[in-house]
Amino acid sequence: MISLEDTIVACSSPLGVGAISSIRVSGPDSGEVYTKISCKELVHFNVIIKEIPLAVDIKEKCVLTSYKNPSSYTGEDSFEISCHGNPLIVDLIIDHLISLGCRLAEPGEFTMRSFLNGKIGLVEAEAVSDLIHAETLEKVRAVGRSLKGEFTTEIDKIILNLREIRTLVESEIDFNDQEINIDFSRIKGNLESFSNLLSSFISTTEEAVYLNEGINTVITGPTNVGKSTLMNYLSKNETSIVSEISGTTRDLVSKSFKIGNHVFNFCDTAGITKDSSDPIERKGISMAEKALLECDLVIELVDDKNINYKKVYPDKKVLRVINKIDRFKNKDTGLLGISLKTKTNLENLEEALIKTAFGSGKPKLKSFSARSRHLGLLRECYKEIEAANVIDIEDSIELFAEHLKLGSLKLGQIKNPYSSDDLLGDIFANFCIGK
């Protein structure tokens, strides 16, 4: 249960030894706790030096910085304590604050309060967490833009656009029995434009998610074609076991690393074969098939013995590659030929990977960052719009309106998700303690 009644405390700097550590306190009783420590009233944006007892005969000289609501990060009365960067000192100060009535904060609870107190939108709150974890300069830039609200502005435009169409449809329904000529073609035309707008926004958001979370890439193909060799080459490490024995890989072997400036989350999988009688291998294949359903990009690797192997991966970006060109001439396959053994054509492979992920060869993204949560909701909205698009509006305007309503609800959840505490908790649970 989310509660704003408690006054929470946590160390907001990285745990461990350092020059300075920072402890954050926020909540309705912050003023009272502050006064107990400092014998002073909590005023906005004030800095004082005060000694805080660690044990009966030891005190720590700390710097206290105070903020009055609503002008703090959380929107509540709050203060920060800077002390020596010793984990024991931090723990003792936190224990002292708990004895004065605070409780330990959950991960992300400070930012969740900022959201619940209307200081920050949900998309911006998520961007705060993404900024902390940004490992590429592009990501820092993109997250910075989301933090400034650029993604929210785009979402707002989409929401407004759909709302306008819904208003039109709903008013037609209301006046339906008054023999007014309904302009169905106008509604259909507007919905088609909206559908195009949404579809292009989904592509931009896909790139934004790739940039933020990495591109989930599964290496698949028949057994023994060199999938694990490819994984090891790309990760520059002995990540997967390679052997000449067919059916070596069973588990999903996952690793994230950068190719160019982009983070790829690679997954090496069991080779797909129909005629395995080994139950463990069959289990590996079924795990591989599940991973294929959930990924963004598929690398389908074959070799000269499996030239005709070609599977369909609905809605996935696919890069088809043929390996082992050291032992045959890659003439008519139409596939990108490589040899992991002789390291032939591998620079083209990396280029092709980025091109497959980002279409144009380079990410065209110049705007925000986004999460798969947002992308999922946009795609669900798109499904509703597609469902509305195929309805004969003259016959079933109510059903048409219902699909638009459901689409609109999905969009709404991006900014203002759920009334359920659990789901909101899920979003903030991935934050750091103290953020």
Residue of the chain from 9, 208, 225, 299 that contacts ligand GTP (CB under 6 A): 225
**In Å, how far are 133, 243, 264, 289, 342 from 221, measured between CA atoms?**
33, 16, 19, 11, 20
Residue 264 Cβ vs ligand GTP, minimum distance, rounded to whole Å: 18
Site for ligand GTP in 254-293 (CB under 6 A): 271
The residues in 355-414 that bind ligand GTP, with binding defined as CB under 6 A, are none
Q: What is the DSSP letter of 45?
A: T
The yes or no reply on residue 242 touching ligand GTP (CB under 6 A) is yes
**Contact of residue 90 among ligand GTP, Mg ion, none (CB under 5-8 Å per partner type):** none
**What is the SS3 assignment for 278-320?**
CHHHHHHHHHHHHHHHHCCEEEEEECHHHCCCCCCCCCCEEEE
Q: Would the CA dihedral through 84, 87, 89, 95 be positive or negative?
A: positive
Q: Would you give the distance in Å from CA 94 to the centre of its chain?
A: 32
User: Considering beta carbons, is residue 152 or 330 the nearer one to ligand GTP?
Assistant: 330
Q: How big is the CA angle at 368 (ends 366 and 373), to the nearest 5 degrees?
A: 135
User: E-strand spans in 170-244?
Assistant: 215-220
Structure tokens at 225: 């074609």
Among 340, 388, 401, 427, binds ligand GTP (CB under 6 A): 340
60: enclosing H helix or E strand? strand 58-67
Q: Indicate which of Mg ion, ligand GTP, none lies near residue 235 (CB less than 5 to 8 Å, by partner kind).
A: none
**Residue 308, burial from CB neighbour count under 10 angstroms (0-12, 13-18, 19+):** exposed
**Residue 246 in the binding site for ligand GTP (CB under 6 A):** yes
| Residue 327 contacts ligand GTP per CB under 6 A | yes
Residue 72 or 248: the one with the smaller Cβ distance to ligand GTP is 248
Q: Which is nearer to Mg ion, 78 or 249 (CB)?
A: 249
- Nearest approach in angstroms of CB 241 to Mg ion is 7
Select the residue interacting with ligand GTP from 72, 228, 367, 408 (CB under 6 A): 228
Q: Residue 415 in contact with residue 123, Cβ under 8 Å?
A: yes
- The answer to whether 249 contacts Mg ion (rule: CB under 5 A) is yes
> Least CB distance from residue 315 to ligand GTP, whole Å?
25
Phi, psi of 353, rounded to the nearest 5 degrees:
-60, -50
Name residues contacting ligand GTP, limited to 97-136 (CB under 6 A).
none
Q: How near is the Cβ of 353 to ligand GTP at its closest, in Å?
A: 17
Cβ nearer to ligand GTP, comparing 40 with 327: 327
Q: Are 367 and 142 in contact (CB under 8 A)?
A: yes
- Between strands 253-259 and 262-268, the pairing is antiparallel
Can you tell me the distance from the alpha carbon of 24 to that of 104, in angstroms, rounded to the nearest whole number? 10
150-174 and 137-147 are packed helices; what angle lies between their axes, rounded to 10 degrees? 50
Stretch that binds ligand GTP, among 12-20, 156-164, 337-345, 372-380 (CB under 6 A): 337-345
Summary count for the chain: helices (H), strands (E): 13, 12
Stretch of 17-25, 41-49, 167-175, 246-254 lying at the interface with Mg ion (CB under 5 A): 246-254
Partner whose footprint covers residue 340, from Mg ion, ligand GTP, none (CB < 5 to 8 Å by kind) = ligand GTP
Contact positions with Mg ion (CB under 5 A) in 204-243 = 227-228
Smallest distance from ligand GTP to CB 224, Å: 4
Shortest gap between Cβ of 414 and ligand GTP (angstroms)? 39
- Residue 239 as a binder of ligand GTP (CB under 6 A): the answer is no
Least Cβ distance, residue 224 to Mg ion (angstroms): 8
Count interface residues toward ligand GTP (CB under 6 A). 22
Q: Does 323 bind ligand GTP (CB under 6 A)?
A: yes
CA distance linking residue 38 with residue 349, whole number of Å: 63
Helix (H) or strand (E) holding 25: strand 18-26
244 binds ligand GTP (CB under 6 A): yes
Q: Integer distance in angstroms from the first to the last C-alpha of the chain?
A: 19
What residues line the site for ligand GTP (CB under 6 A)? Answer: 223-229, 242-244, 246-249, 271, 323-324, 326-327, 339-341
Contact residues: Mg ion, CB under 5 A: 227-228, 248-249
